[in-house]
Amino acid sequence: RKEVEQDPGPFNVPEGATVAFNCTYSNSASQSFFWYRQDCRKEPKLLMSVYSSGNEDGRFTAQLNRASQYISLLIRDSKLSDSATYLCVVNRGYGGSQGNLIFGKGTKLSVKP
């Protein structure tokens, strides 16, 4: 099992749709979790951190399921501007070093008019 796995997509959805991405991780000792967004030919940018209790930021909701070792990202009322690749990032270590960050390969989302 790969350390961090994501469905590569692409997810093609109409504007206004709700779409969800899952990301599984293999190391049960993983400490922190993030979703990054990467636009085409641009650098990744932090979308949101994922907390144990789940967290919401506007139309975006992130959830963590430690028992099943996955995190999810839900996007409601999709906008054209949400089209991007969403990267799941897991910090697998106890020490919190940046060297312990593992990036998933990303899930591509395309929102159509």
In whole angstroms, the minimum distance from the beta carbon of 93 to another protein comes to: 10
Computed from CA positions of residues 20, 21, 25, 29, in that sequence, does the dihedral angle turn out positive or negative? negative
Q: Of these, 28, 53, 68, 97, which contacts another protein (CB under 8 A)?
A: 97
Q: Which of 15, 42, 77, 79 binds another protein (CB under 8 A)?
A: 42
71 binds another protein (CB under 8 A): no
Q: Is 46 in the site for another protein (CB under 8 A)?
A: yes
Scanning 10-18, 50-58, 64-72, 98-106 for contacts with another protein by CB under 8 A, the matching segment is: 98-106
**Nearest 5°: phi and psi at 15?**
-55, 140
Contact between 72 and another protein by CB under 8 A: the answer reads no
- 66 touches another protein by CB under 8 A: no
Q: What are phi and psi of 53, to 5 degrees?
A: -85, 0
Q: Which range of residues in 21-29, 56-64, 73-81, 87-95 is near another protein by CB under 8 A?
A: 87-95
Quick one: three-class SS letters along 45-102? EEEEEECCCCEEECCEEEEEECCCCEEEEEECCCCHHHCEEEEEEEECCCCCCHHHEE
CB neighbour burial string for 61-79, b if at least 16 within 10 angstroms, e if fewer: bbbbeeeebbbbbebeebe
Residues that bind another protein in the complex, under the rule CB under 8 A: 31-32, 34, 36, 42-46, 49, 87, 91, 95-99, 101, 103-106
